[in-house]
Structure 1
Amino acid sequence: MGELRQEIEDALPRAHERFVALVRSVDPAAAVRTVPACPDWSVAELAAHVLTVYRRALGDRRRSATPEETATLNAQCLAEVPERDLAALADLLDADGPASFAVLRSFPGDLSFRFHGGTRTTVTPVSAVILGEVLIHGRDLAEATGDDWVIPADEASLVLRGANLPGPDGLPPIFATWLQPGGETLLAATATTSDPVGALTAFFRRTAPTTPELVALSRYLRSV
């Protein structure tokens, strides 16, 4: 797990830098555009959401008790970030992203703590999920603005491998909370899939499943 943790921690700043560069490149007039993949959010709100993800490692200890409550908590956190200027948001992201990564790096590998959906986890899966948030929301932002965004296969694989690690004290992997009962075995197949980008985007409901295993897994995704 130590090597995987290091790989994820190395990938986070790379993905973060690409995301911040993308936010900085967006025409300020596009800040109010609706994000097709997240129709409740504008482009600026999407960037602000990623900022709230970083801040959950910097002192915001609120977590959803169930998968269904996560959207409500996301909306609450977003409302508490009034900034909608993209240049200002890029500056905030560039400050809080690296700071949050440093906090995560300081955690012992076996430290157990609460995560969304009423589960518990450790630092490597959480770092993997944050990497996934940056990769997926970079894709969302690019889709809304017509810009380019590439999810590298090796980074998508890190997300899937990290998020499939078992939880502490015999708890299931962190992604299992977002599945209906029975999906954990199929979820494990994503850690070694030949199409990690397709698996990641399908799990986040951005694309149609690309393999038979993902077609089967998609039936277990919760409607949240």
Structure 2
Amino acid sequence: MGSTVKFDPVSEHEKTRAALAATMERLVRLLRDVGDLDTASGIPVWSVGDVGAHLAAVYLAYCSAATDDKAMDWDRILPPGDGTLAARIAAMNAMSIRLVVGADRARLGDFVTERGETFLRSTAGLPPDTPVVVPWFGKDSTLTLATVTGLMLSESLVHGLDIARGAGRPWPIAPDEARLVIGQMMPTLMPLMLDATQARGASLAVDLSIKGGPRLAVVVADETMTVTRDAPHRRYDCRIMATPSAFLLVSFGRTPIWKAIVRGQVRAGGRKPWLAARFGQLSASP
């Protein structure tokens, strides 16, 4: 496996906060510059305005969670039942685009700015492992502040691309930004998004090597997944090598895997490289 440079969680968290602040500024400019909010976005069933409304809901949710906003009535907002995470997120996504409608959508940029700045100001100086209660992930569910910040960055980058594609605007995602998302939130999110049905009977160990870092050890067994950074050396079934931006966009369904492979952005190797395809089928998409 070779040597691995251990990451500094505090330093990486601060870099993620800085990336979120910079991406938020880009996102707000994009929202304010879009002429027609009813135009189709990069998500077939949503308009550009729908994506903006969803982002406003994302910023509201994470800001309220991080600041422990008692005014949020999560019992009224959240879908009933304790279904899978993918089902809960899908329900939340459908609901989110109805939170900001009509003329209020013209002020999406202002709302994202206010909530984003409140989140960054309220969490400044807190340790990256500070627990944040996220009820939409499940009753009494918590994530670390580092994971939440990475999730906000991922939502901003990916949905910014959705808006930009609909508006015909450029929206580059820098490799360093993608690396921060992968390192900060995917070790937590990937196991949570495991499709138990697809994982039934699966047993594999994958060395997921992102160009320039991070490097993740992904092990699937007994219908569970563990993802570990800086893992000790072990025997892997296959190795997946990917550029950070390509892996991010493939993971979120914004770039077809075949296109990334043709471009040389994703490659599989190791003893059983064909298991890379099996690995790609294990996550549930909301």
Tell whether the structures are fold-level matches, with TM greater than 0.5.
Answer: yes
Letter in 1 for 2:189: I
Supply the RMSD in Å over aligned alpha carbons.
Answer: 2.7
- In 2 relative to 1, CA 94–195 (structure 1 residues): closer, same or farther, beyond 3 Å? same
Q: Which has the larger radius of gyration?
A: 2
Report the Cα distance in structure 2 between the residues aligned to 1:8 and 1:84, rounded to whole angstroms.
33
- The answer as to whether partners of 1:104 and 1:127 remain within 8 angstroms in 2 is no
* 1:195 corresponds to: 243
Pairing 1:212–2:217 present: no
* 1:46 corresponds to: 51
Greater helix share, 1 or 2?
1
- In 2 relative to 1, CA 215–92 (structure 1 residues): closer, same or farther, beyond 3 Å? same
Letter in 2 for 1:45: D
Pairing 1:161–2:183 present: yes
* 1:142 corresponds to: 164
* 2:131 corresponds to: 112
* 1:35 corresponds to: 41
- The answer as to whether partners of 2:173 and 2:245 remain within 8 angstroms in 1 is yes
- Deviation (angstroms), 1:61: 7.2
Report the Cα distance in structure 1 between the residues aligned to 2:193 and 2:207, rounded to whole angstroms.
10
- The answer as to whether partners of 2:242 and 2:267 remain within 8 angstroms in 1 is no
- In 2 relative to 1, CA 108–148 (structure 1 residues): closer, same or farther, beyond 3 Å? same
- Deviation (angstroms), 1:161: 0.5
- How many residues matched? 214
Report the Cα distance in structure 1 between the residues aligned to 2:129 and 2:94, rounded to whole angstroms.
31
- Deviation (angstroms), 1:3: 0.9
What percentage of residue pairs aligned between the two structures are identical?
A: 24
* 1:70 corresponds to: 89
Letter in 2 for 1:67: A
- The answer as to whether partners of 1:51 and 1:97 remain within 8 angstroms in 2 is no
- TM-score normalised to structure 1 length: 0.82
- In 2 relative to 1, CA 151–61 (structure 1 residues): closer, same or farther, beyond 3 Å? farther
Pairing 1:81–2:100 present: yes
1:32 partner SS: coil
Letter in 2 for 1:41: W
Structure number with higher relative contact order (C-alpha < 8 Å, ≥ 6 residues apart): 1
- Deviation (angstroms), 1:15: 0.3
Report the Cα distance in structure 2 between the residues aligned to 1:223 and 1:179, rounded to whole angstroms.
9
- The answer as to whether partners of 1:183 and 1:220 remain within 8 angstroms in 2 is no
Pairing 1:7–2:15 present: yes
- In 2 relative to 1, CA 45–223 (structure 1 residues): closer, same or farther, beyond 3 Å? closer
Deviations 1:131-171 (A, max 9, x none): 00000011111111111110011001000000144xxxxxx
- In 2 relative to 1, CA 215–154 (structure 1 residues): closer, same or farther, beyond 3 Å? farther
Report the Cα distance in structure 2 between the residues aligned to 1:111 and 1:97, rounded to whole angstroms.
18
* 1:23 corresponds to: 31
Report the Cα distance in structure 1 between the residues aligned to 2:177 and 2:18, rounded to whole angstroms.
10
* 2:189 corresponds to: 174
- Deviation (angstroms), 1:176: 2.0
Greater strand share, 1 or 2?
2
Report the Cα distance in structure 2 between the residues aligned to 1:61 and 1:183, rounded to whole angstroms.
41
- In 2 relative to 1, CA 83–10 (structure 1 residues): closer, same or farther, beyond 3 Å? farther
Report the Cα distance in structure 2 between the residues aligned to 1:145 and 1:198, rounded to whole angstroms.
22
The gaps in structure 2 that reach 5 residues or longer are 1-8, 216-240, 261-265, 269-275
- Deviation (angstroms), 1:34: 2.1
- TM-score normalised to structure 2 length: 0.66
